[in-house]
Amino acid sequence: MAIVSDGHGGERYFRSDVGSKLLVEITAEAIRQFMKLGGGYGGMRLTTSNDDPESVPGLGVVDHKLRWLFSSIIAQWNEAIERHAEENPLSEWELTHVDEKYWNEFLSAKSPEKTYGCTLMAFFRTSTYWAAFQIGDGKLLTLNMVDGEPVFAQPVPWDDKCFLNKTTSICDSKALDEFRYCYCSDKSFPTAVFLGSDGLDDTYGDGELLENFYMNVMLEIAKGKDKAMKALVSDLTEISKRGSKDDMSVAIIYDPSVAVDIAVQLLSYQMTRNIKRRESLDSKIADLEALIEKAGSEIGSESQRIELEYKKKDLVKAKEAFANLQLQWQRLRGKKGFYQRLANTQK
C-alpha cells in the first residue's frame, strides 16, 4: 500500500501536521482490516465511484464495502484528534504564533476537526485486486508500459470542488460523500503507481510535465531505493523553491525486479519522442527559411517588415530548440547505455 496525507496550510489548521500523521497511521490499519475481511470482488474491470452501481455487476457490493472503509477511517480519525486535543492543550508556541480567533475556535469547538484538517489519497493491492481512493487534492497516477511506451492514467475521478487553494478534506462535515475511488479485480495491475500531494501538480500541472517528473523518478529508482530516496529529498526541496513553494509528499509503488528494464524502455521512448520533435522542428525551420527568403524580396510596407522580423526571431528560437534537443538526445543515449549495462550485470 501507499498513502499520502497533506495537512492544510494556513493558521486555522495549525495542527494539520498531527492530523495528517494520524490519518496515515489510521488508514494503513483500516486497509489491513479491510483486506482481512475479504474486500475483493472477482473479475471486475477498472471501475470508479462515478460509475452506476446498477449497470456494473458487483459494483454495488464494492461500493458498500469501500464506504464502510471510508466511514471507519473518518470515525477513527475523529476519535484520534479529539484524544490528541484533550491530551495536548495549546502550547506556548501556538498561543504566541497562532491568531487568537483560531485557538479560541479550537478551545470552544465540540470537535477540533478543522484544526487538524488534511487531505488523503491511498493505493493498495492484493494478489487478486487493487483499489485507490482519495479525498481532497493532489494527483494519483498509474503507469503501464504498452508496447514499450509509458501510458499514464489518473484512475480516481477528479473532484471539481478542488480548485486553486480550495479542497475537500477529511475534516468536512460530509467527508464520506466526498471520497472518490477506483477498483479493479481483473488482475490488470499497474506497472507503477505514484501519489503526489498538490505541491507537485501545482508546479508541473497534471499532464506531460508531471509524467516526465515521475519517469525521471523511475530512472532513479532503477539505481536503487536508497539513491532514489536521497534524490527525492534533495530534488523536491529545490522543485518547491522554484515552483509552488508548497510542501511536497510523494509515495510510489513499483516492482524492483523490473525497475531496470522499465528504465531502459522509458529511455527508448524518450529518445524516440526526441527524434520526432527534432523532425518536426527541422520541418518548421525549413518552412521559416523559405518564408524569410521569399519575404525578403517582397517587403513593401512597414507591416511586412515587422512580420519578417518576427519570422527571423521564430527561426532563431526554433534552431536553439533543435540544438537543445540534440544535446538532450546525447544525454539520453548515455543514460540508456548505463541502464543497459546495469541490466546485464543483474542477469
Q: How many domains does the chain have?
A: 2
Please give the residue range of the domain that contains residue 295: 264-346
| Same domain (yes/no): 140, 21 | yes
In a domain, 259, yes or no: no
pLDDT number for residue 4: 98
| Same domain (yes/no): 228, 279 | no
Kindly report the three-state secondary structure assignment for every residue of the chain.
CEEECCECCCHHHCCHHHHHHHHHHHHHHHHHHHHHCCCCCCCCCCEECCCCCCCCCCHHHHHHHHHHHHHHHHHHHHHHHHHHHHHCCCCHHHHHHCCHHHHHHHHHCCCCCHHHCECEEEEEECCCCEEEEEECCCEEEEEEEECCEEEEECCCCCCCCCECCECCCCCCCCHHHHCEEEEECCCCCCCEEEEECHHHHHHHCCCHHHHHHHHHHHHHHHCCHHHHHHHHHHHHHHHHHHCCCCCCCEEEEECHHHHHHHHHHHHHHHHHHHHHHHHHHHHHHHHHHHHHHHHHCCCCCHHHHHHHHHHHHHHHHHHHHHHHHHHHHHHHHHHHHHHHHHHHHHC
In a domain, 204, yes or no: yes
| Same domain (yes/no): 269, 227 | no
Q: Give the model confidence (pLDDT) of 9-39 as tens digits.
A: 989 999 999 999 999 999 999 999 999 887 6
| Same domain (yes/no): 77, 223 | yes
Residue ending a domain, among 187, 220, 254, is 254
| Same domain (yes/no): 195, 104 | yes
In a domain, 185, yes or no: yes
Q: Give the model confidence (pLDDT) of 247-280 as tens digits.
A: 999 999 999 999 999 999 999 999 999 999 999 9
Q: What CATH number has the domain bearing residue 142?
A: 3.60.40.10
* Prediction pTM value: 0.92
pLDDT number for residue 122: 98
